[in-house]
Every structure is written in C-alpha cells, then in structure tokens.
C-alpha cells in the first residue's frame, strides 16, 4: 500500500503506459512537473489524455512531442506570452480532441472523483458556452429551493503527476506554497507519481503531520528530482525562469521550429542533470523566509 520508491525518474515514468489519462500542472504556474513530462516524451509514451486547470507550457510541449490525443483543461498556453503554438495548431488541424473547462469545473470534477461521488453541483458555468457547447455537464435543479445548478461529473485520472518540495521514500509528501488543485487530483487519481526536490527520512514528514499534503497509499511512485519543475518556480527552492518561457514562445511557432527546440531540451538530454547544465539563469532564493516555529509533542 506504500509507494514503490523509484531509482530514477526514467524508472518512475516508465510505469505510466501509453493511452493513460494524466492530470498534471495542478498547482497552476507553481511547481509544474516538467522533468516528468519531458521523460514521458523521451520514452515515447503517447495517446495521452492530459487533464489540468491552466497549463503553463507543459501541455503545449507534450502536444508538440506528439504524446497527446486529448486535452481536458481550462486554459492551455504560455502565461508569460499568451499563445501555445503547438496546442493551437493541433486544435486548428483537428490533431487533438479538446474538452473545454473552466478552472472551477476541472477542480470540481476532480473533487467529485476524490470525494467518491458521481458529480458535484455548481453555480458557475450556466450561461456560458463552456456549458452550452459541452456534452459533459448536466443541468440540475436543487430539490430544496428549486435553484438551477450545473452538475459536473467526476473525473478520475489514471495518473496524477505532482512535483513537491519533499517526500519520504514511502510516499508521504510535504508541499507548501499554493497548491491549486493538487489535493482533489491526487484524491481522484488511480495512481500518483511524485517527483520531489528532496527525498527525506520519514521522521522529517512525521515531525509536521499538518504539512502532509499526500499520504503514501495514494502514491504509486516517488523519485528525487532536484530542479524537477524548472522553468516553473518552487517555493523555498528556486524562482521562475521567465526568459525560458519567452524563448520557448519565440522558438516554437512552427512544428519544425518546435522539433528543433525539443531536440535540444527534451530528446537531446539524457536526464534532468544534463538538462540543468544547459540552463543559464540564476534562479536561486536570495531572500529566504523561514516559517515561524511550530511544535507538536505530548
């Protein structure tokens, strides 16, 4: 019932088969598991359904790598620059199937999965084409006061991929900074892959159980992966590499240009270490803030 610790990222990611539905980019622009995503591409895992709220670049990259057949998301692009060209071209050429969501509808669908109920009601969506043009949602009437609500059915991804600050080898995870929809996605997913800046002794996790965001029986694989979220930021570890987002935007407006980019950054590196050798930016935390002390005990 615990995670199987993985020796390498490659080992961990190899457990995700082609054809899987994968929820990721769950903390929005924070702590996006780019390392795991690039490894999926390197392994040739394809026919993926990607599930997420806003996706800041990772979905665009995986689409460009030909790994994706379907996207269930609220926003796909590049937060620093707008358009994600690979997503846009794939949609416009009918290369992928897109299910349009709002951030809240993705969040509620995963929350329904995590909560183990078939659907959740919301006051959002109604009046929009996100609702009207979708086959996913239903209209419902609150039996108590007769109010109209939209009903969002559960989504239960095969996998959720989460990047975190620290995890024990068993798969108990400390996570801080904003978490977006990590919690509902982890609850809804059949399997969870955790990449962590640090794999730590279980005692570290046990010293602060209120910090634990994910527990082991939800986790299938955990692997240490420093810088695993670059170019996105990780609270306490490194800042966002905005130049990288802009460079990507400038370099991927055609598939040929993207392929060249991917040859350098995805296929042309063996692992994360080699990748980081190519990054030329100082993203280090220069003004650390230490959290005020918290004690438990008995």
Question: Which residues form the interface with its own copies (CB under 8 A)?
Answer: 116-123, 138, 140, 142-145, 147, 149, 151, 153, 165, 174-177, 179, 200, 204-205, 207-208, 210-211, 235-236, 239, 285-298
93 versus 210: smaller Cβ distance to its own copies: 210
Q: Which does 204 bind (CB under 5 to 8 A by kind): other proteins, its own copies, none?
A: its own copies
Residue 159 β-bridge partners: 22, 191
Beta-carbon contacts of 123 under 8 Å, excluding residues fewer than 6 positions away, are 147, 149, 150
Give least dist CB 160 to other proteins, A. 14
Give least dist CB 185 to other proteins, A. 10
Looking only at residues 79 through 138 of this chain, which bind other proteins when binding is defined by CB under 8 A? 79-80, 82-84, 87-88, 91-92, 100-105, 107-108, 111, 113-117, 122-130, 132-133
Q: Residues of 214-225 as b/e, b for ≥16 C-beta within 10 angstroms? A: bbbebbbbbbbb
Distance CA 138, CA 119 (A): 10
Contact 219, 53 (CB under 8 A): no
Q: Which does 102 bind (CB under 5 to 8 A by kind): its own copies, other proteins, none?
A: other proteins
Considering only residues 3, 6, 56, 195, which one is a binding residue for other proteins as defined by CB under 8 A?
56
Does the bond joining 8 to the residue before it have cis omega, within 30 degrees of 0?
Answer: no
Residue 274 CB neighbours (<10 A)? 10
| Two structure tokens written together for 126 | 């109604």
100 versus 207: smaller Cβ distance to its own copies: 207
Q: Which does 87 bind (CB under 5 to 8 A by kind): other proteins, its own copies, none?
A: other proteins
Give least dist CB 221 to other proteins, A. 17
213-to-143, 162, 167, 220, 267 alpha-carbon distances in Å: 35, 11, 10, 15, 33
Q: Which does 212 bind (CB under 5 to 8 A by kind): other proteins, its own copies, none?
A: other proteins
Rounded to whole angstroms, the maximal C-alpha distance in the chain is 63
Q: Which does 276 bind (CB under 5 to 8 A by kind): other proteins, its own copies, none?
A: none
Q: Residues of 231-243 as b/e, b for ≥16 C-beta within 10 angstroms? A: bbbbbebbbbbee
Element (H, E) at 91: helix 85-92
How many of the chain's residues bind other proteins (CB under 8 A)?
Answer: 86
Q: Which does 22 bind (CB under 5 to 8 A by kind): its own copies, other proteins, none?
A: none
Looking only at residues 168 through 197 of this chain, which bind other proteins when binding is defined by CB under 8 A? 172, 176-184, 187
Q: Residues of 79-92 as b/e, b for ≥16 C-beta within 10 angstroms? A: bbbeebbbbebbbe
Distance CA 146, CA 293 (A): 49
Residue 163 interacts with other proteins (CB under 8 A)? no
Looking only at residues 192 through 221 of this chain, which bind other proteins when binding is defined by CB under 8 A? 203, 205-207, 209-210, 212, 215-218
Residue 166 interacts with other proteins (CB under 8 A)? no
Site string for other proteins, 220-239 (x = CB under 8 A): ------------xx-x---x
Residue 77 interacts with other proteins (CB under 8 A)? yes
Distance CA 192, CA 185 (A): 9
174 versus 249: smaller Cβ distance to its own copies: 174
| Two structure tokens written together for 254 | 């055609």
């Amino acid at each position: 019932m615990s995670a199987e610790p993985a020796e390498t990222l490659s080992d961990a990611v190899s457990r995700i088969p082609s054809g899987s539905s994968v929820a990721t980019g769950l903390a929005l622009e924070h702590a996006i598991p780019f390392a795991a995503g690039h490894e999926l591409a390197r392994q040739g895992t394809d026919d993926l359904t990607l599930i997420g709220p806003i996706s800041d670049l990772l979905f665009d990259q995986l689409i460009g790598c030909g790994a994706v057949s379907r996207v269930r998301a609220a926003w796909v692009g590049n937060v620093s620059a707008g358009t994600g060209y690979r997503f846009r071209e794939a949609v416009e050429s009918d290369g992928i199937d897109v299910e349009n969501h709002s951030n809240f509808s993705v969040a509620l669908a995963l929350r329904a999965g995590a909560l183990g109920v078939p659907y959740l009601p919301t006051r959002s969506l109604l009046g929009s084409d996100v609702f009207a043009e979708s086959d996913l949602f239903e209209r419902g009437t609150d039996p108590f006061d007769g109010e109209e609500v939209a009903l969002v059915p559960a989504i239960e991804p095969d996998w959720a991929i989460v990047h975190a600050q620290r995890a024990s080898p068993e798969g108990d995870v400390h996570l801080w900074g904003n978490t977006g929809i990590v919690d509902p996605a982890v609850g809804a997913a059949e399997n969870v892959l955790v990449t962590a800046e640090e794999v730590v002794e279980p005692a570290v996790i046990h010293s602060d159980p209120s910090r634990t965001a994910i527990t082991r029986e939800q986790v299938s694989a955990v692997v240490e992966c420093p810088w695993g979220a670059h170019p996105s930021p990780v609270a306490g570890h490194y800042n966002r590499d905005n130049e990288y987002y802009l460079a990507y935007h400038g370099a991927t407006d055609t598939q040929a240009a993207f392929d060249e980019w991917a040859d350098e950054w995805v296929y042309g590196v063996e692992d994360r270490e080699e990748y980081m050798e190519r990054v030329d930016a100082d993203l280090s935390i220069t003004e650390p803030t230490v959290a005020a002390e918290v004690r438990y005990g008995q």
